[in-house]
Structure 1
Amino acid sequence: MGENEAMVLTQKNDPVLMTQTMRWFGPADPVSLRDIRQAGASEVVTALHDIPNGMVWDRPAIAARRAEITRAGLGWSVVESLPVHESIKLGAPDCDRYLAAYRESLRHLAAEGVRVVTYNFMPLLDWTRTDLRYEMPDGALALRFEPVALAAYDIYILRRPDAARDYDEATCAAAERRVHAMDAAARLELEQTIIAGLPGSEESFTSAELLRAVEQYGDVGADRLREHHAAFLEAVCPVAEEVGIRLVVHPDDPPFPIFGLPRVVSTEADVAAIFARVPSVANGLCFCAGSFGARQDNDLPGMVERLQDRIGFVHLRSVQHEPDGSFHEAAHLEGDARMAEIVAALYNIQQRSGRSIPMRPDHGHQMMYDLTRTTNPGYSLIGRMRGLAELRGLERGIAHAAAAA
């Protein structure tokens, strides 16, 4: 066997591994493209965050963003996210114009080489936390969600009518004690943490604006939101199929109703129903282990196996559940996610299908040098770099064990 033949054989026998990416929020991101490349990622996932929701992403703007990424030695095949306008989620009379804009944006993205487009169908708010600087035992800072803090904001600061009905008696009592112990600065910090806008959320609200927006959803329950989601997919999937893009829905975060707003992408049954209703090959899933993992009744490794054909993008992070129903972001290989089983399931899918699934380490602790820097919550560099390195090592260890078996 000649040298070239041996090289080809080795390459054919090489395992298919996940495409390692990191999220980048564009030129204003404190984390640079050079940082991301040095962290070991080969691609970024990003979006045109400066374009208002519902507007067309024109091709020159997409091309300019791609050129910037390419100059840094990185690839860009996954968009996160192309937002769905609230009129589409509400099924409002003007939703057709926003559906048309979405289809046009998909055509432009495909023309510039994007193959996966992430979106979510959460009403009004993107991912929600009540503490962006929860101190871990080692001094690193994590994101945390606490039901009592949410209830304190909802009942006493937002003052949503009848909000107390959505919480049990013990939570309401604890929320009352909490809010009465808070000074004005603490109340403002809680308000800003919940609604002032987080990375990946193109819109933000004041409490008064949020309350008015919540009222618009007064007659949109879970069943109607599911219908609107299906209508969205039926309107855009034909174009996505035509141009070779897979749409992947990000699960709800947290995966249960908040502020009386329905959530319809929270469980395996939810996503299975979406795929049954709209069976298009363009209708896919962004499997976020952290979002699904915030519900203890979601079997994460089993979901990966059963939903494998629909998974087009993966977010890997782990949450740690607390006895009172709170949860916080754990280190990527710790917490309750059973990460080794998840990555093993993904590895097996890739070997069977021959396709590399784009992955990014989702969120990360603010730690070390980043504790002294201004960072986007959950998206500081060092914590995500640690997560990427750990996940890379885990996957390669699984591959090595498989080869040795």
Structure 2
Amino acid sequence: MKMGFRWYGEGNDTVTLDHVRQVPGVETIVWSLHHKQAGEVWEQAEIDAEVARITGLTDAARARGITRTFDADVVESVNVHESIKLGRTVLGMGRDEAIDNYRTTIRRLGRAGVKVVCYNFMPVFDWLRTDLWHPLPDGSTALYFEKAVVDRMTPESLIADMEAGSHGLTLPGWEPERLAGFSELNAAYEGGTHEDMYANYQYFLEAVIPVCEEVDVKLGVHPDDPPFDVFGWPRVVSTHDDLARVLALHPSPHHGLTLCLGSFSANPQADAVAAVRTYMDRIHFSHVRNIKHFPNGDFTEVAHRACEGDVDTVGIMTAYAQAGYTGYIRPDHGRHLWDENTTNKPRPGYGLYDRALGIQYLLGVWDAARHGAR
């Protein structure tokens, strides 16, 4: 198993690579070119420059005695253009053009040594929360989903709320350039069904997976977050059965999962440990985090320790350890701790401290399980 840390790039993250170097156990920087829009080709020079930044060291760092470097094996994400999900031209781009661009980007990432690409197949919006800075009893803040708020608000008001709460940092899945076309997207999805989405998803996989095999880049789809339809738009990667159906769309081992256990477990009936054990050989990348459910359908994100919430993070890491998992794992959304809440507010969910604490907890469970297996 390789432990990763998501980083949004120089000048686009309150956390620096030098900060991450001091977190024990991190080997992989999970990255992306966040200025690129869905459907846009990634240029080889841009990819190579970012990989060099992640895997290299500056002269100043070497002069300070720093020797620790990272790999850049995992990209999160190369976003799928809405024309691919809809199966027709939208936002000025046709499906086949968008797929050709995606294949070009995959080839270029393969040349740069990337091993895994995360993506999602959610219509219109990516992840969805109603409060980005919800106060917890310990004084920290975290992402929060309030069902009643979603039930009464419009997509347009949600877009405005997300923008207001971002503190000026980019929010993947909520790019203003894409959401500027919201009215067109909303109309395009009118009457769309889950079967339509599965058919368009299979078309995408049949076109892209041969390129993934050619350059040995694995695709891992991220579950819907939250794992149910929102605003009437069909989501197709939500439940245990959905995961099985999605994997059956293409038999190649290069088609697999980015199994985000927090997103998956936002359904209180979901069994995260069973999902890990069932799909182990198709999990290329995994996000491990914890959430706490409330009887009215709300949920909040909490610390990674299992007893803090309702996700069995101990069972998850034990299952990975017992199987000798060799893929990539990262902590997911953390709470915002200490001075992050006042002086250096990070991107929602992506501060330094709680993710660093989470890594130590997850690695502790891993180490204990691996030690017990000997």
- Same fold per TM (> 0.5)? yes
2:63 corresponding residue in structure 1: none
Q: For residues 207-256 of structure 1, what are the alpha-carbon distances to aligned partners after superposition, in whole Å with 9 as ceiling and x for unaligned?
A: 88534421210132111011111111111001101111110000000000
Residue ranges of structure 1 left out of the alignment (5+ in a row): 1-17, 159-186
The amino acid of 2:323's aligned partner reads I
2:133 corresponding residue in structure 1: 133
Residue pairs, 1:304-383, within 5 angstroms: 304-333=276-305, 334-350=308-324, 356-372=326-342, 373-383=344-354
The amino acid of 1:24's aligned partner reads W
The amino acid of 2:371's aligned partner reads H
Q: For residues 169-222 of structure 1, what are the alpha-carbon distances to aligned partners after superposition, in whole Å with 9 as ceiling and x for unaligned?
A: xxxxxxxxxxxxxxxxxx96477459x996322623798853442121013211
2:121 corresponding residue in structure 1: 121
SS in 2 for 1:224: helix
Q: Is the 8 A contact 1:214 1:259 kept in 2?
A: no
Q: For residues 256-284 of structure 1, what are the alpha-carbon distances to aligned partners after superposition, in whole Å with 9 as ceiling and x for unaligned?
A: 01111111000111111122221112110
RMSD between aligned alpha carbons? Answer: 2.1
Give the Cα–Cα distance (whole angstroms) in 1 for the partners of residues 204 and 213 of structure 2.
14
SS in 2 for 1:42: strand
Give the Cα–Cα distance (whole angstroms) in 2 for the partners of residues 251 and 136 of structure 1.
26
SS in 1 for 2:73: strand
Give the Cα–Cα distance (whole angstroms) in 1 for the partners of residues 295 and 79 of structure 2.
34
Give the Cα–Cα distance (whole angstroms) in 1 for the partners of residues 182 and 155 of structure 2.
13
2:200 corresponding residue in structure 1: 228
The amino acid of 2:2's aligned partner reads T
**Alpha carbons of 1:262 and 1:63: their partners in 2 closer, same or farther (altered >3 Å)?**
same
* Selected match of 1:289 from 261, 264, 270: 261
Q: Is the 8 A contact 1:76 1:114 kept in 2?
A: yes
Query: What is the deviation of 1:81?
Result: 0.3
Q: Is the 8 A contact 2:155 2:231 kept in 1?
A: no
2:87 corresponding residue in structure 1: 91
**Alpha carbons of 1:206 and 1:20: their partners in 2 closer, same or farther (altered >3 Å)?**
closer
Q: For residues 97-155 of structure 1, what are the alpha-carbon distances to aligned partners after superposition, in whole Å with 9 as ceiling and x for unaligned?
A: 11001111111000000010100000111111000111111100010001111122128
Q: Does 2:359 align with 1:388?
A: yes
Q: Does 2:34 align with 1:22?
A: no
Count of aligned positions: 353
Give the Cα–Cα distance (whole angstroms) in 1 for the partners of residues 219 and 54 of structure 2.
22
**Alpha carbons of 1:237 and 1:301: their partners in 2 closer, same or farther (altered >3 Å)?**
same
Q: Is the 8 A contact 2:169 2:347 kept in 1?
A: no
* Selected match of 1:47 from 32, 45, 53: 32
Query: What is the deviation of 1:365?
Result: 0.4
Give the Cα–Cα distance (whole angstroms) in 2 for the partners of residues 122 and 96 of structure 1.
19
Q: Is the 8 A contact 2:37 2:178 kept in 1?
A: no
**Alpha carbons of 1:189 and 1:106: their partners in 2 closer, same or farther (altered >3 Å)?**
closer
From the two aligned structures, give the one with the greater helix fraction.
1
Runs (4+) of structure 1 exceeding 6 A deviation are: 205-208
Q: Is the 8 A contact 1:248 1:286 kept in 2?
A: yes
**TM-score (structure 1 length as normaliser):** 0.83
2:229 corresponding residue in structure 1: 257
SS in 2 for 1:247: strand
Q: Is the 8 A contact 1:197 1:204 kept in 2?
A: no
Q: For residues 264-310 of structure 1, what are the alpha-carbon distances to aligned partners after superposition, in whole Å with 9 as ceiling and x for unaligned?
A: 00011111112222111211001101000001121111111111110
SS in 2 for 1:307: helix
